[in-house]
Amino acid sequence: MSATHASGPRGAASANVRSNAEIIEDIPEPPIASAVAAEMPGGVTGDDPQTPASWTDVTIHDVYDARVRIAPHLARTPMLTCRTISQLAGTDLGFKAELFQRTGSFKSRGAMNAALQLTPEQRERGLITISAGNHGQGLAYAASKVGTRAVVFMPRMAVPTKIDAIRGYGAEIHFSESMDDVFERMDEYRLAHDLTFVSPFDDPAIIAGQGTVGLEILEEMPDVENIVVQAGGGGLLSGIALTVKTLRPEVRVVGVEPRGANKIRKSLDSGKPERTGPIVTVADGLAAPFAGNLTQAIIGHYVDDVVLLEEDEIIHAMRLILERMNVLVEPSGAASLAAVLTGKAGIEPGSQTVVILTGGNVDRDKLKSLL
């Protein structure tokens, strides 16, 4: 296993690849959103949950602004390699190691971007969110940095290490019986206490923050041909997709989700955001209870495919990463590799591919049973 950075073999752009800075100069501002709005009723964020969302509501300019905004507070994560797994997969693999980000996942990128844009009045009142764990940690960390209150609603059966970490960053935790009713309980509390809701995924600031992962991928592996991204609510997938497809439209972007927490694929098929239904997956970080308006509009416009994984495929990939790379990633963080190993991501043999390793917050008791 090795880590490559911008100065290494994968950081030097080939002669025919334009820099991001050169490309951004040629990108016009997007058309008026209402002119190309994707009707996606049923969302849950914003003042009017029925407001249509458009793929133009977040732009590459927002992503570049987010990178400048969050850079003083967060890490630039490494691009890892593993020859053995690349050979098994039949592709030249790079592993974008977001599990080494502060709080253990990419979630702190979007949360920090959102927290740094609060008005003084919002900062005075505080923030509230729902989370299976990783977004809650990201928001708790961001809130502590800007000096505001954070309240996190979680399912009672959430991973204990994630609960402890959220409390460690100073946030308050309230529990619901499951992810199925967590939003409704959170919203009641939000209204009663006049808090600002920060969605785990369906928010322009969150999506732009997660899009900074895409900028780093293009800089660290400039000849990349495929990027495979796991999806819970779709904040990371939509952020990476809009970033990469704007700068390098020929790069193939594939989303991945567990069959037992299938809401993005279901929403694409139906043409509107859907609820997950009964959630049955070991990948708790991908167990969002519903799809979002904005994320689905962006995913529908930019993403090439979204594929479904079985539980044993995710667990196998997690074990392989631990055995061959000596990196312990939670099941949700191994899902993108699983899609490559099974062939479901549709990667051409020998092509350059990046998968995302995110979520280093593994419960010890669950780990024993998985291994």
Q: The CATH number of the domain where 51 resides is what?
A: 3.40.50.1100
Q: How far is CA 133 from CA 94, 144, 166, 251, in A?
A: 26, 17, 8, 31
CA 45 to centroid of chain Cα atoms:
17
| pLDDT band for position 51 (cuts 50, 70, 90) | low
User: Does one domain contain both 215 and 189?
Assistant: no
The pTM is what?
0.86
Edge-to-edge strand order for the sheet containing 150-155? 172-176, 150-155, 127-130, 196-197
User: Does one domain contain both 248 and 353?
Assistant: yes
More confident residue, 229 or 282: 229
Last residue of a domain, one of 197, 214, 229: 197
More confident residue, 7 or 258: 258
User: Does one domain contain both 276 and 332?
Assistant: yes
pLDDT tens digits for 270-318? 999 998 888 889 998 898 888 999 999 999 999 999 999 999 999 999 9
Segment 39-60 shows an average pLDDT of 59
User: Does one domain contain both 20 and 162?
Assistant: no
Domain of residue 298, residue span: 2-106+203-370
User: Does one domain contain both 243 and 319?
Assistant: yes
Domain count along the chain:
2
Q: Is the pLDDT of residue 371 over 90?
A: no
pLDDT tens digits for 88-122? 999 999 999 999 999 999 999 999 999 999 999 99
pLDDT tens digits for 22-44? 444 444 433 322 222 232 223 33
Give the model's pLDDT for residue 61: 98
Q: Which distant-in-sequence residues (6+ apart) come within 8 Å of 309 by Cβ?
A: 256, 257, 258, 259, 335, 338, 339, 342, 344
| pLDDT band for position 132 (cuts 50, 70, 90) | confident
User: Does one domain contain both 173 and 207?
Assistant: no
User: Does one domain contain both 53 and 120?
Assistant: no
User: Does one domain contain both 356 and 218?
Assistant: yes
Q: Do residues 135 and 129 lie in contact, with contact meaning Cβ atoms separated by under 8 Å?
A: yes
Give the model's pLDDT for residue 40: 28
